[in-house]
């Protein structure tokens, strides 16, 4: 984990320096609009998002995020067909893919958000050995619950259960904590910040009829 956060830290520092805007605004993030707000979560309508993504076979959220980010970081640093360097963006997203058997997850997808300039043009293809894929998400609604501190192997599932419970109580009464839903963890801060950290659990919202969410 330490290495990942060193990398994150370096990447964030590198992009921060060359920018004239304040650090808080220096990183591009995907655009969204809040369509529903509750005390402990919200529903966001995201615009289309393009990600460069790394599939990692593993059993640890932390180790898999570190490995996947390492591959993505090389892409950002120019390991692509045009030797293009990219700015760091936020968040780094790790999708937890539930196992079919219902046991512990055995794969993770780590994602780097491609700057909006690549919404309508293809980014340079990654070097083949990095084994990365371009993922384009259509505009859709995502339920989001924030949590602070570090995102770790021993808390991400609990945070996801918290979101499932909140959704089940209010908007989505069919939701059940015993089902294996896909979810993602969005991380916004480098490791040098022990406090003031922001992470989020993301879950796709299906069948929620708020404005713009209808599938």
Using CB under 6 A, list all residues that contact ligand NAG.
24, 55, 57, 59-60, 63, 82, 84, 90, 97, 122-124, 131, 182, 188-189, 193, 196, 198, 204
Tokens of residue 26, six digits: 């220096």
Cis bond leading into 91, ω under 30°?
Answer: yes
Opening angle at CA 125, ends 120 and 130, nearest 5: 135
For residues 62 and 166, which CB has a smaller minimum distance to ligand NAG in the complex? 62
For residues 67 and 166, which CB has a smaller minimum distance to ligand NAG in the complex? 67
How close are the terminal C-alpha atoms of the chain, in Å? 37
- Least Å distance, CB 122 to ligand NAG, is 5
- Least Å distance, CB 156 to ligand NAG, is 13
For residues 45 and 203, which CB has a smaller minimum distance to ligand NAG in the complex? 203
SS3 state at 121 = coil
The number of helices, as runs of H, and strands, as runs of E, in the chain is: 3, 9
For residues 84 and 170, which CB has a smaller minimum distance to ligand NAG in the complex? 84
- Least Å distance, CB 155 to ligand NAG, is 14
- Given a contact cutoff of 8 angstroms between Cβ atoms, the answer to whether 74 and 130 are in contact is yes
- Least Å distance, CB 33 to ligand NAG, is 17
């Amino acid at each position: 984990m330490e290495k990942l956060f060193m990398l994150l830290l370096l990447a964030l520092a590198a992009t921060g320096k060359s920018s004239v805007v304040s650090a808080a605004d220096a990183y591009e993030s995907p655009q969204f609009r809040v369509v529903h707000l509750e005390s402990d979560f919200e529903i966001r309508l995201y615009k289309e998002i393009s990600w460069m993504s790394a599939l990692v076979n593993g059993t640890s959220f932390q180790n898999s995020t570190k490995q996947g980010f390492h591959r993505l970081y090389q892409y950002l640093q120019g390991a692509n067909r045009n030797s293009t360097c990219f700015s760091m963006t936020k968040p780094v997203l790790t999708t937890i893919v539930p196992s079919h058997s219902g046991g512990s997850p055995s794969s993770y997808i780590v994602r780097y958000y491609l700057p909006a300039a690549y919404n309508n043009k293809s980014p340079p293809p990654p070097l083949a050995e990095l084994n990365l894929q371009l993922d384009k998400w259509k505009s859709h609604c995502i339920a989001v619950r924030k949590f602070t501190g570090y995102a770790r192997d021993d808390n991400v599932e609990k945070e996801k259960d918290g979101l499932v419970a909140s959704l089940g109580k209010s908007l989505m009464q069919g939701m059940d904590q015993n089902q294996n839903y896909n979810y993602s963890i969005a991380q916004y801060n480098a490791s040098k910040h022990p406090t003031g950290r922001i992470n989020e659990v993301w879950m796709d919202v299906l069948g929620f009829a708020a404005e713009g969410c209808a599938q």
